[in-house]
Structure 1
Amino acid sequence: MGPLDRIEELIAYVEAAKAVPMSRACRVDRGELIAMLEELQAELPADIRRSEVMLAERDKIISAGEKEAERIIAEGEGEHARLVSQHEITVSAEHEASRIIGEAREEAQRLRDEVDEYVDTTLANFEQFLQRAVSGVERGRDKMHALREIGTFNPPEQEESEEKPLPQF
């Protein structure tokens, strides 16, 4: 069960709690509610670790793309130097080397852009998830605080009126 499911479970639990007569308050089992909140709390770090793994994967992909681009550029420069030594095809070699370098740079940039888009989308989804989780927790805490306030409310005791006998005629 994921964190969002846990939040929904908490909301349903509070909604199903027995109402306190003449108020908006309800009674919940404190231990059970705390246990549910602790389960939610235990799950959130796992989601955070998953996002850190995604960021590390993004860095690996970018690094691999940069290494491949460097290899292609070095290959292009090596090819360029070889072709320059041959006088008849010098102009052609320069164009080819420039094309290879340009393609390598474009490919590296394309890879960076794809990885950045993927990571941004993933982090945006995770951000929305966390915002919903925080909102759910805040609602739960607000309800819990409201219940606590209502549960400790003691109306002022009414002064007991002394019963006086009715006058007899």
Structure 2
Amino acid sequence: MTDNDDLPTEELPDVQMGDAEEILLDLIDLISKAPNVPLSSTPRIDREEVVALLEDAIACLPHEVREARFMLKERENFLNRSQREADEIIEAARTQAERLVQRTEVVRASEARARQIIDEAESTARRLKSETEDFLDRRLGSVEILIDRLMKTIKHGRDRLSITGVQQANDQMTQDAPDMSGEFFDQEVDRTRELD
């Protein structure tokens, strides 16, 4: 990870989570509502506008990936902090239990209390860890889905642009090709005359 990966979301106010998806949805809308070229089913699309929207979407992706990395780092820090707190609670419970062992009548009660404190601390640590992992798994899942959608949308847009370019090239070749049909049939007529 680089230093930029450690940046929290608040330090990057220009780009929000999901901006790339919004840009790609605008692009889909632009392509689907584009008017057709006269006498053709090919849509007329402003290539510069489409390319600009795709570049904006691609520019947003690194920020969203950086946000996901930041969330992973925060998760790790939170888990470490939770583990330290749990260890401190356990150590405090053990220390307290050792002090209580000195008294005969209090020994049973102190052992029970120490076990209870340790169990509660371990239970709390497990619960916090589980909740944190679940939360971050959901968030990372949504980021993964978003990135997958973005990649599919970009591929679809690129495919549409390449299909449009191929169709235009084929139309141009058809218009530029000389009409050879008359010459072909004239040769057949000449050949039948020679045979007669």
Distance in 2 between the 1:159 and 1:149 partners?
24
Further displaced range: 56-65 or 75-84 = 56-65
Give TM-score scaled by structure 1 length: 0.88
Distance in 1 between the 2:53 and 2:141 partners?
26
Of 139, 147, 151 in structure 1, the residue corresponding to residue 164 of structure 2 is 147
Q: Which residue identity lines up with residue 135 of structure 2 in the other structure?
A: Y
Q: CA deviation at 1:63?
A: 1.1
**Partner of residue 9, structure 1:** 26
Of 105, 112, 117 in structure 1, the residue corresponding to residue 122 of structure 2 is 105
3-state SS, counterpart of residue 17 of structure 1:
coil
Of 81, 84, 87 in structure 1, the residue corresponding to residue 101 of structure 2 is 84
**Partner of residue 159, structure 1:** 180
**Partner of residue 167, structure 1:** none
Q: Which residues in structure 2 correspond to 1:4-153 (within 5 Å)?
A: 4-21=21-38, 23-153=40-170
Further displaced range: 119-128 or 106-115 = 119-128
Gaps of 5+ in 1: 163-169
Using CA pairs under 8 Å that are at least 6 residues apart, name the structure with larger relative contact order, 1 or 2. Answer: 1
Percent identity for Structure 1 against Structure 2: 29
**Partner of residue 166, structure 1:** none
Give TM-score scaled by structure 2 length: 0.76
Q: Which residue identity lines up with residue 20 of structure 2 in the other structure?
A: P
| Number of aligned positions between the proteins | 162
Runs of 4 or more off by more than 6 Å in structure 1?
none
